[in-house]
Amino acid sequence: MEIKNKEELDSVNINGKGKDENTYDAIVIGAGMSGGWAAKELCEKGFKTLVVERGRNVEHIKDYPTATKNVWDLPHRNEIPYDIQKENPVVSRCYAFGEDTEHFFVKDKEHPYVQTKPFDWIRGYQVGGKSLMWARMTQRWGVVDFEANAKDGYGVDWPIRYEDIAPWYSYVEKFIGIQGNRDGLPQIPDGEFLPAMEMNCLEKHVKSVIEKEFPGRHLVVSRSANLTQKHNGRGPCMYRSLCHRGCPFGGYFSANSATIPAAIATGNMTLRPFSVVHSIIYDEQKQKAVGVRVIDANTKETFKYFAKVIFVNASTINTTLLLLNSTSSRFPNGIGNDSGALGKYLMFHNYRGRVYGEYDGMQDEYYYGRKPTGVYLPRFRNYGDDVQTKFLRGYSFSGGASRSRGNVDEDTPPIGVDFKEKMTEPGPWRFGLTGMGECLPYEDNKITLSKDKKDDWGMPLVEIDCEHKENELSMLEDIIDSGAEMLEAAGFKNIYRENSEQAPGLDIHEMGTARMGKDPKTSVLNGYNQMHAVKNVFVTDGACMSSTACQNPSLTYMALTARAVDYAVKEMNKQNI
C-alpha cells in the first residue's frame, strides 16, 4: 500500500493496540551516533522512550559477520564485484565500502535521490547508523569555531560558545573513551583522554620538521574514539584497523556497543526497527508536536506513536526531509519552518586536496600492529599570526606514515622465488596528508522535496543542490600547496599532489539545513537545539549545525545531544514543555 500523503495516512486505522499502548514519554527518530545518545540520556533520566529506526536491528557482536574473517575468507578478497559497482556508483566511491562492509551501507538503487548537482550521499540504514563505519576522529571544536560566523558575517551567529559546550564534551568523552594527548592547542582544546597511541618513527620525524620549520603548525596524534585500555566494560583496541566491520571487542565507540546497550539496561527503551517515519504530528490546538506517523518498512502498515517530547536524529538530510514533509495548516512549508531556513545552508567538508610522498631513510625501522588512527595537523591558516586574504576560514590535515609489506616493484613478476623473497622485505616508507577544508554556509546549497518522485514508502525523494564555491576552491589550492611544502621540507621525494575533484558528500560530514541561531527569523533551532516554534521538538544531529569548522563533527553532535536532553528534561519538569 503506498501512502500518498499525510491525510491518507491519518485515515488508515493505525492504532490497533489503542493510543495508550502507543504512547511514550519520549520518541527518538534514528538510532545512530546522536540518536543513540538521545536514547541513553532520556532512558537514564527515567523516560519511557521509543526509538524508531528505518533500518534493521544490528546487535553488538552478533551482527558483525565479517569482523574476524581474513581477506582470503571473503569470496572476492574484499573487492567489490564490477556488477555491484556499476549498480551503485555513489556508495562504491566511499573509502569504507568493501566486500567486508557492504551490508552496512545503503545501496544506490534501493534508496534513490535526485542530484541537481553531483552529491555523493553515503548512508547506513540500521541500528547504529554510520557509527558502525565512521573514522572515529574526535577533535573538539575551539573558541574560534563558534565565533566565526559572527566575525566574518557568513551564516548566522551561533547561539552558543565553546564555554557552553565544553563540559558536555567532557561528559561524552568520559563515556565513549578517547585516546589522545593533552597538546595545549586552542584550535583543538584538550579533553578527557585515555593514554594516546604512539606515532611511528616517520610520523615523529615529520612532526619535528614541521614544528621547527613552520612556526604555528603542530602535528599531533589524532584523537580518536579507540580504547587503549579497558573502559566502561569495552575494549581495549586490538590494533586490527578493521573498525568499520564492527568490533567484537568494543574497541571503538559505536551506538551498538555503547549507548544503545546503556539505554536498554535501564528497562526504559523500546526499539522499533524497520520503521520509516513519514512525518511529525502537530496539534494545532495544543500548539506542539504530539507524535509521529510511521510506515513499517517491510509490510507498509501504518502506525501512530505519541510522546511529550521528540528528538529528531535521522542524520542531516533525512532529518530535514522528515521536517519538510511534516506539514500542517500552521506549518505549510515544514514543521518549525517559520524562518524559511529549513533545507537551506547545506554544508560539507572539502576533502579534495591530498599530498603523498616517499621517504628513503629509516630503512632499518618498522612498527608493530595496525594503528587505527593517524596524525592530525590542526588549523593554522587565518589563525593567530597566519592571516591571508585569498579565502575565509581555514583547514586541517589528517594523515599518517606507513611502510608496505613487500619490496616488490612493477618489474617483478607476481610469481616465483624472486617474488616470494621480495615479499619478505619491507617496502618503501610513505607519508600522506589529506586536507579537511571548512565550507561556508550558502543559502543556495540546499535540499528540497521532489514534487513528483517518491520512494517505495510514498515519501518524496530528496533533491540535493550543492556545490563547491569560490572560497572552497581558493582554499583547496592552498591545501595542496602547503601540504607539498611540508613534505618537501621533511625530505620526501616523488611528492604527488592531488585534487580528487570529488563531489560534495563523499566527506560524509553533511551539516546544516535546520540550523541553530539566536533569531527565530533566520534559524530553526535555539541554543539548546530546540525548535523556536515547536518547543517539544529537538534536532541534535548534523542538521543543527550553523557552520562546519574543520574538525570531524561527530563528537560535537554527541555533546550537543547530551546537553539538549538535559535541558529538555529540566524544561519538562518545570512544565514548560
Q: Between residues 499 and 20, which one has the greater pLDDT?
A: 499
438-490 per-position pLDDT tens digit? 999 999 999 999 999 999 999 999 999 999 999 999 999 999 999 999 999 99
Region of poorest pLDDT, from 39-43, 175-179, 408-412: 408-412
Give CA–CA dist 262/1, Å, rounded.
36
Locate the domains of the chain by residue range.
1-55+125-179+253-348+443-457+509-577, 183-222+349-438+468-503
β-bridge mates for residue 114, sequence order = 463
Read off the pTM: 0.96
Q: For residue 180, give the C-alpha cell.
A: 589522545
β-bridge mates for residue 294, sequence order = 277, 303
Q: For residue 490, give the C-alpha cell.
A: 621533511
Find the Cα–Cα–Cα–Cα dihedral 56, 297, 341, 32, rounded to 10°: -10
Place of cell 534513490: 112
pLDDT the model gives residue 550: 98
Q: Are the CB atoms for 137 and 552 separated by under 8 Å?
A: yes
pLDDT the model gives residue 569: 98
Q: Are the CB atoms for 335 and 92 separated by under 8 Å?
A: no
Q: What is the mean pLDDT of residues 375-399?
A: 95
What does residue 558 show for φ and ψ, rounded to 5 degrees? -65, -45
pLDDT the model gives residue 405: 81
Q: What is the mean pLDDT of residues 542-549?
A: 98
Give CA–CA dist 172/160, Å, rounded.
18
Q: Are the CB atoms for 443 and 264 separated by under 8 Å?
A: no
Give CA–CA dist 33/131, Å, rounded.
5
Of the chain, the end-to-end C-alpha distance in Å amounts to 36
Q: Are the CB atoms for 23 and 529 separated by under 8 Å?
A: no
Q: What is the mean pLDDT of residues 421-428?
A: 86
355-378 per-position pLDDT tens digit? 999 999 999 999 988 999 999 999
Q: Where are the alpha helices (DSSP H) in 75-155?
A: 82-87, 143-152
pLDDT the model gives residue 409: 78
Predicted confidence band of residue 3 (pLDDT cuts 50, 70, 90):
very low
pLDDT the model gives residue 1: 39
Give CA–CA dist 565/311, Å, rounded.
9
State whether residue 166 is helix, strand or coil: helix
Q: Are the CB atoms for 425 and 409 separated by under 8 Å?
A: no
Give CA–CA dist 532/521, Å, rounded.
9
Give CA–CA dist 168/558, Å, rounded.
8
Q: What is the mean pLDDT of residues 75-85?
A: 95
Predicted confidence band of residue 8 (pLDDT cuts 50, 70, 90):
low
Give the H/E segment covering residue 523: none
Q: For residue 401, give the C-alpha cell.
A: 606514515
C-beta neighbour count of 131 within 10 angstroms = 28
State whether residue 563 is helix, strand or coil: helix
162-216 per-position pLDDT tens digit? 999 999 999 999 999 999 999 999 999 999 999 999 999 999 999 999 999 999 9
482-523 per-position pLDDT tens digit? 999 999 999 999 999 999 999 999 999 999 999 999 999 999
Percent of the chain predicted with pLDDT > 90 = 91
Give CA–CA dist 540/549, Å, rounded.
17
pLDDT the model gives residue 18: 67
Question: Average model confidence (pLDDT) for the chain?
Answer: 95
- CATH fold label, 1-55+125-179+253-348+443-457+509-577: FAD/NAD(P)-binding domain (3.50.50)
Whose CA is closest to 134, among 394, 377, 347, 373? 373
As a three-state string, the secondary structure of 311-369 is EECCCHHHHHHHHHHCCCCCCCCCCCCCCCCCCECCECEECCEEEEEEECCCCCCCCCC
Looking at the predicted structure, is the pLDDT value of residue 19 above 90? no
Place of cell 616517499: 358
Cis-peptide into 236, omega within 30 deg: yes
Give CA–CA dist 150/551, Å, rounded.
19
